[in-house]
Amino acid sequence: MGNMKLNLKIWRQNGPNDKGKMVDYPVKDVSEDMSFLEMLDVLNDDLVRKGDDPIAFDHDCREGICGSCSLFINGEAHGPARGITTCQLHMRRFKDGDTIYVEPWRSAAFPVIKDLATNRGAFDRIQAAGGFVSVNTSGNLVDGNAVPIPKDDADKAFDAATCIGCGACVATCPNGSAMLFTAAKVSQLSLLPQGKPESKRRALAMVEQMDKEGFGNCSNTGACEVECPKGISLEHIARLHRDYLAATVTKE
Amino acid sequence: MSKLDSKIPPGPIDKKWTYHKGHIRIVAPANKRRIDIIVVGTGLAGGAAAASLAEMGYNVKAFCFQDSARRAHSIAAQGGINAAKNYQNDGDSTYRLFYDTVKGGDYRAREANVYRLAEVSANIIDQCVAQGVPFARDYGGLLDNRSFGGVQVSRTFYARGQTGQQLLLGAYSALMRQVGKGTVQMYDRHEMLDVVVVDGKARGIIARNLLTGEIERHGAHAVLLCTGGYGNVFFLSTNAMGSNVTAAWKAHKRGAYFGNPCYTQIHPTCIPVSGTHQSKLTLMSESLRNDGRIWVPAKLEDAKAIRDGKKKGSDIPEADRDYYLERRYPAFGNLVPRDVASRAAKERCDAGFGVNKTGEAVYLDFSAAIERYGKLEANVKKIENPSKEKITELGRAVVSEKYGNLFDMYENIVGENPYDHAMKIYPAVHYTMGGLWVDYNLQTTVPGLFALGEANFSDHGANRLGASALMQGLADGYFVIPYTVGDYLADDIRTGPIDTKRPEFAAAEKEVKDRINHFINNKGTKPVDDFHRALGKVMWDKCGMARNEQGLKQAIQEIRAIREDFWKNVRVPGKADGFNQELEKAGRVADFLELGELMCMDALNRNESCGGHFREEYQEMDGPQKGEAKRDDDNYAYVAAWEWLGEAGKAELHKEPLVFDEVKLTQRSYK
């Protein structure tokens, strides 16, 4: 066990229709080797022992790749460090005696389920609208090397494809826009010869769904890029704009 | 006694799958619309299967406990996926991949299944490329490869250190395409809590809506379990927090035999445990062993000084380092299979050479690779007489390009820069080769109930080779089940929708509700994690990297005691009808507490050492193979398939003899 003492202020909300409030939780014996979520585990363990309701939060892989974990920590998505998710944030980033505010993603399109857990189903629906290449499973496709892909394009597509769908971009955006998330998928597929043929259709369909879900508009503040745990670049939004523009101009 | 018919097709090994595909029954397109299939789990196996079956015309319902299908734990796989493409012209072939897998599995896998896996492996890469999976490519625009343990060719395809993510997102996009078309109904935040068996056939599931707590009945003509492995029985593992055995275990209790439960893969390169708060362990990809060299100090006093903080790894001169894998296994060196590498690390640490506070860590060192790559880069860049600093700088850039995300991950967790200081690693539970017994069609012993991917036992024998889990998950989902499920469903074209008002559904639902109510109403005092942690310690100490008869017998007694305590004293706060994460955990740990005992029973029964199953009593006592695992092919060349007999700790052993027509059984040697 460690020896840090912290004053946590955590958002508690019993359900989607509950009003919710910040509640104080002083914690002690926090070790700097703990992850932020392990610190919350220790707090929850204590709450259960006392017969209280533990704090609900989404998490799963705890290695920064599944995109389940979220949390606004001291006003920043995934906390103060850059390029990592909350589950990768370790307590050595904090000092003994710190006060830490912990809140859920706040966005109209991500309603709170309970406490810190939110519903991000809108992302799945955007993906279902067009985030794919229309190819069926087949044992008879062309060889994977039949179409060479310039390394630079493959690398850029990969960078876009590293999006984990956590929603930090939406939570950070003053307009609650899902542009970075949507653009990352559009851009990935648009950069690859396999995804190119339907790039216009894809851009239109995904943007339309995004608007339907109640996400705000993009006004190029760039906050999403800063808070994205995977460093997804704004350049992808530019590529989405190009595909979208081309699609609207040529739409019949 | 034996209901075990593996249904291996006739003919030579390289013709079996073709023959089978040509001779099994199929369902006509118009009739597929009349058939419902439930797919539980949306990882590589489940996502691929659900998408493929919907594309073919079946009505699919897909379930996952995560908030989105994209978060299944396949996403965390790092290193790569094997395929016998032979792009590198290094002598790879379907046969070699098959052979390596059977040998790597220590001759405890079914030959026909493994051959089929190798056969379809090349299709997987083509399929993924067509979906827009951005694999790593070279400057010519062609796919790049690297090497993994237990093989001497380069057949592993990868997408930096995030191959699982990219493959899963490919399968997920195919799945979402079908969701958009309405051919797949997606049930996320739903956990399957029972299989419903009607007239001896799997006809549906009972699932809990994790948001509302509602218990739902879902009927279907076939149920596919793609629910992953059970490594979390050890509490600490590289699995995700939610990974569990519940679906497979419920199936087992409804009649599906459990195959080789004791075969656990302990991965050699994970970040060591740092304290009691630890909730999970993080893997450092096997791909790192391409370039990293594993060592401990050769002198006990140096190891002690390091543990006491008086020396650093970099203080130990080259001559005083023991690169024990290179020393013991010169032919494969640092790229021996996982079970061999893990045991070797344990052996050195047990002998007192561990290099962290707990004494349970060895070094994974990149300094030689940084220097080698730096010199190469200097040549490429035509830098004459580069300084040591320049070489290091250039070399680091190359290492960062290859493994950057892994190095960052390490630094985040440990708080130490792995470019400056050698990584400290130790083995951790990673994968389970055991799982539901399935025949060649991937059907369990319950008709209509299938198991795919890590959830079944079939392809990896007693030890899985690196980059083969992704291959198997996608092979099962894209290229095996779409054919084999038809053979079963051909009888169901006139069945009509399954009626979920039947008494079998009601009875299963009642059992599920009774158990949930027990947890909620129990007046216990201890959180679920207390019991899970206690179980994990017993499993790790007595059914982990090394096992023996006495320890396993003790473990069984200890697990029974924990189980009894759990049912009496567990405290689950909150309500049944709502979002309740402690309740979810309680159900999963209850199943682990039964599975753990079966794993020990299986380990106790298997009086030999093979792959990940190392019984201390059965090892070579002398000669060049001293200390290596000693198999007993005369008595144990079989799959142990356990039948549930009504209560935990009571199970009947059925044996599927393993016949090796192609590969000659020899002692596995990597020396």
Q: Rounded to a whole number, what is the distance in Å from the CA of B541 to chain A's nearest CA?
A: 22
Strands B201-209 and B215-219: antiparallel
Q: Cβ(B301)–Cβ(B284) under 8 Å?
A: no
Burial B329-356 (b: 16+ CB within 10 A, else e): beebbbbbbbbbbbbbbbebbeeebbbb
If residue A98 lies in a helix (H) or strand (E), which one and from where to where? none
Query: So what's the pLDDT on residue B380?
Result: 94
Residue that finishes a domain, picked among B473, B492, B511: B492
In terms of DSSP H, where are the helices of B262-323? 300-307
Do B425 and B437 fall into the same domain? no
What's the token pair of residue B402? 């290859």
Interchain proximity A38–B141, CB inside 8 Å: no
Do B112 and B251 fall into the same domain? yes
**Has residue B588 been placed in a domain?**
no
- The CA distance from B228 to B248, in Å, is 9
Q: Across the strands, what pairs with B654?
A: B641
Do B349 and B390 fall into the same domain? yes
What's the token pair of residue B156? 């592993």
**Has residue B211 been placed in a domain?**
yes
- The CA distance from A200 to B196, in Å, is 45
**Has residue B506 been placed in a domain?**
no
Q: How many CB atoms lie within 10 A of CB B538?
A: 24
Domain that holds residue B202: 16-263+433-492
Do B173 and B214 fall into the same domain? yes
Edge-first strand order for the sheet with B321-322 is: B264-270, B423-432, B362-365, B293-297, B321-322
Q: Which residue has the tokens 């990219």?
A: B166
Interface size, chain A vs chain B, as Cβ–Cβ contacts under 8 Å: 228
From the list B191, B165, B185, the residue with the least C-alpha distance to B67 is B191
pLDDT < 70: residue spans in chain B: 1-2
Do B224 and B306 fall into the same domain? no
What pTM was estimated for this model as a whole?
Answer: 0.97
Q: Rounded to a whole number, what is the distance in Å from the CA of A240 to chain B's nearest CA?
A: 17
For residue B93, the one-letter residue type is: S
Query: So what's the pLDDT on residue A139?
Result: 87
Do B186 and B89 fall into the same domain? yes
Interchain proximity A63–B169, CB inside 8 Å: no
- Tens of pLDDT, residue by residue over B331-365, are 999 999 999 999 999 999 999 999 999 999 999 99
In terms of CA atoms, which chain B residue is nearest residue A83?
Answer: B408
- Tens of pLDDT, residue by residue over A14-67, are 999 999 999 999 999 999 999 999 999 999 999 999 999 999 999 999 999 999
Residue ranges per structural domain of chain A: 4-113, 121-250
- Is the ipTM here above 0.90? yes
- Tens of pLDDT, residue by residue over A81-106, are 999 999 999 999 999 999 999 999 99
- Tens of pLDDT, residue by residue over A208-243, are 999 999 999 999 999 999 999 999 999 999 999 999
Do B259 and B271 fall into the same domain? no
Catalytic residue among B155, B338, B348, B563: B338
**Has residue B279 been placed in a domain?**
yes
Do B286 and B420 fall into the same domain? yes
Residue that finishes a domain, picked among B429, B446, B466: B429
Do B283 and B183 fall into the same domain? no
Q: Cβ(B447)–Cβ(B286) under 8 Å?
A: no
Is-catalytic flag, B160? no
C-alpha angle B471-B476-B482 in degrees, rounded to nearest 5 = 140
Question: What fold, for A121-250?
Answer: Fumarate Reductase Iron-sulfur Protein; Chain B, domain 2 (1.10.1060)
Match domain A4-113 to its CATH number in 1.10.3720.10, 3.40.1190.10, 3.10.20.30, 3.30.70.3270: 3.10.20.30
Residues of A in contact with B241 (CB under 8 A): 59-62
**What is each CA distance from A21 to A76, A104, A172, B319, in whole angstroms?**
18, 11, 20, 62
**Has residue B51 been placed in a domain?**
yes
74-133 in chain A: CB under 8 A from chain B: 81, 83-84, 88-90, 92, 113-114, 117, 119-121, 123-124, 127-133
- The CA distance from B294 to B303, in Å, is 14
Do B57 and B99 fall into the same domain? yes
How many separate domains does chain B show? Answer: 2
Do B205 and B222 fall into the same domain? yes
Do B148 and B34 fall into the same domain? yes
As a whole number, mean pLDDT of residues A185-191 equals: 98
Q: Cβ(B76)–Cβ(B240) under 8 Å?
A: yes
Quote the crossing angle between the two packed helices A199-212 and A179-191, to the nearest 10°: 170
Residue that finishes a domain, picked among B380, B411, B429: B429
Task: Look up the CATH number of the domain holding residue B131.
Answer: 3.50.50.60
Residues of A in contact with B141 (CB under 8 A): 148-151, 154
From the list B249, B204, B285, the residue with the least C-alpha distance to B36 is B204
